[in-house]
Amino acid sequence: MLAAKFLAQAICAVVDKEMTRRCFSPCDTDPCENQSQDGSSFAAPCLGAKRHPVAVELTPDKPHEACGIVAVCGHPEAAKLTYLGLYALQHRGQESAGIATIHEGRMHVHKGSGLVADVFDEAALRRLPGSVAIGHVRYSTTGSSLETNAQPLVANYRGGALAVAHNGNITNAANIREELEQRGAIFQSSTDTEVLIHLVAQAATADFDEALFMALVRLRGAYSMLVLHPERLVAVKDPRGFRPLCFGKLGNAYVMASESCALDIMNAEYLRELAPGEMLTYRDGELLATRPFPPAEPAFCVFEYIYFSRPDSLAQSRSIYEYRERLGQQLAEEHPAEADVVIAVPDSSIPAAIGYARRSGIPYAMGLIRSHYVGRTFIEPDQAIRDFGARIKYNAVRSVLEDKRVVVVDDSIVRGTTSRKIVNMLRAAGAREIHMRISAPPWRNPCYFGIDTPRRERLIAATAGDVETIRQFIGCDTLGFLSLEGLLKVVPRTQQYCTACFTGDYPPGQAPTGEFTKQILE
Ligand code: SF4
């Protein structure tokens, strides 16, 4: 019985109506007993007897990006340009997309589940008139992947219509929501963003700017946010400046976006990143910059440099690509290896691998090829197709790897499961030695500021204790992580950073006080 159990590789999928949740677990119970309490994560792969259809996550074992936001102010084709901007930010969220515009005092909105190209067509964009628009692509970090949670969130209150697009996580949203519900507020979504709308609506002032400020000062955590109102558009960053938000010009129009790659696609000129706590207000063709919040110690997410932002985006007016290459060079200095070839886990680790190769003098080659056309698929699991999820996404190039000592550079290890599959794949393709190098310190703590990471007990660096235990789990010959000091040496010193996922030092007063899960508001 036990033998049979161990012979059958079982992968159990728990599927609900709104989203597919996956469990890779020994599954003799239904629903699976290994599902986490909040229902959002599952145990690492192991063996069981029961067989179910499985939803294979084809971008596994990476922290999921936050969201992407775009605004266009003062352009006759505001909705179309916003659409283009969202297209460029698709890597920041693939669950839903939406655009809201203002025309003759009326709010127009179109949003839905799926990719930007699935949600919008010509007809949908024609129904979004006006010269001011905000847009959003979402990966849920609070609230499930429901259509009601798609942004921009739109509401009518006594001051008129209001639309909000938010990137980040408001860590005291549950407390504020409870307080508002006790006062009679009825919430339409399970996102943290909606509390902002209720706070504005319930503010003891009819002045919108004042009401917005009074609402924003109640929030803790991370928000890069766009707020659209019939008379103005506001772009604002929280006082710590966790998440990115930049702005630029397109003729007489202004453009704001999570990353500069969204400005490039519109052919807009990049001006600069918003400072922590900065607020830009567009009204009657003018853009006004203010710093309304009391000063706080900045905490820009250092992981934007390592992984989240697109390499062609700018940070501090220099390309993210450049910094990633320098992270690879620093990694080579800290963890040299005797090897024949350097390869990357594509695509995000390619600049770091090139940097490693350049500093070490070991040639760079493409030893892993990534398929760009995979999404999710359903299969019947079977021993014969173990590691299918990794193999459908990556394939090893035997001619590059056979009989070689290989340095493989990746930018993060979260649960370790994908790294282990990649090592198996490289060995199967003939690699003689595998030296894994990670262009970030070990990820030991969950992020509460807009990145979806597993709970601490699912993070291999948190549970394994030391690098040697992680190496044994992954199965490589040597393993080296970039040091925190090395990371901070490379990224611009003109900023201060959040490094909490590595250090556990959350910016004071910003982490949630109690249990925090993605479904906390459901
Ligand atoms: S905890 Fe990590 S991922 Fe989250 S904001 Fe801080 S540095 Fe970024």
Q: Is 459 in the pocket of ligand 1 (CB under 6 A)?
A: no
Looking at the fold, whether 323 and 295 belong to one and the same domain comes out as no
What is the Å distance from ligand 1's center to 302 Cα?
Answer: 7
Q: Whose CA is nearest to atom 4 of ligand 1?
A: 447
Residue entry with tokens 């025309």: 103
Task: Identify whether 513 is part of a domain.
Answer: no
| Structural contact between residues 419 and 413, judged by C-beta atoms closer than 8 angstroms | yes
Q: Above 70 in pLDDT, residue 174?
A: yes
- Residues 235 and 275: their CA atoms lie apart, in Å, by 11
Q: Which helix (H) or strand (E) holds 249?
A: strand 246-250
- Residues 167 and 222: their CA atoms lie apart, in Å, by 8
| pLDDT tens by residue, 403-414 | 999 999 999 999
Q: Whose CA is nearest to atom 2 of ligand 1?
A: 501
Looking at the fold, whether 398 and 468 belong to one and the same domain comes out as yes
| pLDDT tens by residue, 225-246 | 999 999 999 999 999 999 999 9
| pLDDT tens by residue, 469-509 | 999 999 999 999 999 999 999 999 989 999 999 999 999 88
Task: Identify whether 116 is part of a domain.
Answer: yes
Q: Is 451 in the pocket of ligand 1 (CB under 6 A)?
A: yes
What is the Å distance from ligand 1's center to 372 Cα?
Answer: 27
What is the Å distance from ligand 1's center to 341 Cα?
Answer: 32
Lowest mean pLDDT among 32-36, 169-173, 476-480: 32-36
Task: Identify whether 21 is part of a domain.
Answer: no
Task: Identify whether 390 is part of a domain.
Answer: yes
Q: Is 447 in the pocket of ligand 1 (CB under 6 A)?
A: yes
Alpha helical stretches, state H, 42-149: 78-88, 116-119, 122-126
Share of the chain above pLDDT 70, in %: 81
Structure-model confidence comparison of residues 127 and 315, the more confident one: 127
The residue from 240, 273, 299 where one domain ends is 299
Q: Above 50 in pLDDT, residue 306?
A: yes
- Residues 468 and 488: their CA atoms lie apart, in Å, by 24
Q: Above 80 in pLDDT, residue 433?
A: yes
Looking at the fold, whether 327 and 295 belong to one and the same domain comes out as no
Give the distance from CA 505 to its chain's centroid: 20
Residue 425 DSSP SS3 = helix
Q: Is 414 in the pocket of ligand 1 (CB under 6 A)?
A: no
Q: Is 308 in the pocket of ligand 1 (CB under 6 A)?
A: no
Per-residue confidence at 465, pLDDT binned at 50, 70, 90?
Answer: confident
From 12, 23, 67, 476, the catalytic residue: 67
- 46 an active-site residue? no
Task: Identify whether 367 is part of a domain.
Answer: yes
**How much is the mean pLDDT over the chain?**
85
Q: Which tokens hold the place of 238?
A: 């929280």
Q: What is the CA radius of gyration of the chain?
A: 23
| Structural contact between residues 329 and 356, judged by C-beta atoms closer than 8 angstroms | yes
Q: Above 50 in pLDDT, residue 173?
A: yes
Share of the chain above pLDDT 90, in %: 71
Looking at the fold, whether 326 and 225 belong to one and the same domain comes out as no
Task: Identify whether 190 is part of a domain.
Answer: yes
Q: Whose CA is nearest to atom 6 of ligand 1?
A: 498
**Is the C-alpha dihedral spanning 44, 48, 50, 52 positive or negative?**
positive
Alpha helical stretches, state H, 372-458: 388-393, 398-401, 417-428
| Structural contact between residues 345 and 318, judged by C-beta atoms closer than 8 angstroms | no
Q: Is 449 in the pocket of ligand 1 (CB under 6 A)?
A: yes
Ligand 1 atom nearest to 301, measured from its CA: 8
Looking at the fold, whether 264 and 354 belong to one and the same domain comes out as no
372, burial (CB in 10 Å: exposed 0-12, middle 13-18, buried 19+): exposed
- Residues 317 and 338: their CA atoms lie apart, in Å, by 36
Q: Is 499 in the pocket of ligand 1 (CB under 6 A)?
A: yes
Q: Above 60 in pLDDT, residue 81?
A: yes
What is the Å distance from ligand 1's center to 297 Cα?
Answer: 15
DSSP state of 147: G
Rounded average pLDDT over 113-122: 95
- The structure's pTM equals 0.85
CATH number at residue 110: 3.60.20.10
What is the Å distance from ligand 1's center to 213 Cα?
Answer: 25
Contacts of 280 (CB under 8 A, 6+ apart): 234, 235, 236, 247, 254, 256, 274, 287, 288, 289
pLDDT given at position 410? 97
| Structural contact between residues 221 and 168, judged by C-beta atoms closer than 8 angstroms | yes
| Structural contact between residues 232 and 208, judged by C-beta atoms closer than 8 angstroms | yes
Looking at the fold, whether 291 and 321 belong to one and the same domain comes out as no
- Residues 440 and 502: their CA atoms lie apart, in Å, by 9
| pLDDT tens by residue, 413-432 | 999 999 999 999 999 999 99
Looking at the fold, whether 97 and 230 belong to one and the same domain comes out as yes
Q: Is 443 in the pocket of ligand 1 (CB under 6 A)?
A: no
Looking at the fold, whether 262 and 322 belong to one and the same domain comes out as no
SS (H, E, C) 289-345: EECCCCCCCCCEECHHHHHHCCCCCEECCEEHHHHHHHHHHHHHHHCCCCCCEEEEC
Q: Which tokens hold the place of 517?
A: 């899960």
Per-residue confidence at 16, pLDDT binned at 50, 70, 90?
Answer: very low
Looking at the fold, whether 177 and 266 belong to one and the same domain comes out as yes
- Residues 457 and 29: their CA atoms lie apart, in Å, by 22
Q: Which tokens hold the place of 485?
A: 């000091």
| Structural contact between residues 234 and 226, judged by C-beta atoms closer than 8 angstroms | yes
What is the Å distance from ligand 1's center to 497 Cα?
Answer: 9
Q: Assess whether the previous peptide bond of 61 is cis (omega < 30° from 0).
A: no
Q: How many domains does the chain divide into?
A: 2
Q: Which residues pair with 101 in a beta bridge?
A: 108, 133
| Structural contact between residues 273 and 85, judged by C-beta atoms closer than 8 angstroms | no
Give the distance from CA 495 to its chain's centroid: 21
pLDDT given at position 142? 57
Per-residue confidence at 387, pLDDT binned at 50, 70, 90?
Answer: low
CATH number at residue 449: 3.40.50.2020
Residue 422's domain spans which residues?
A: 316-503
Task: Identify whether 16 is part of a domain.
Answer: no
62: amino acid identity, one letter: K
Looking at the fold, whether 118 and 258 belong to one and the same domain comes out as yes
Q: Above 50 in pLDDT, residue 122?
A: yes
Rounded average pLDDT over 83-96: 95
Looking at the fold, whether 95 and 197 belong to one and the same domain comes out as yes
Q: What is the dihedral of CA 371, 150, 454, 168, to 10 degrees?
A: 110
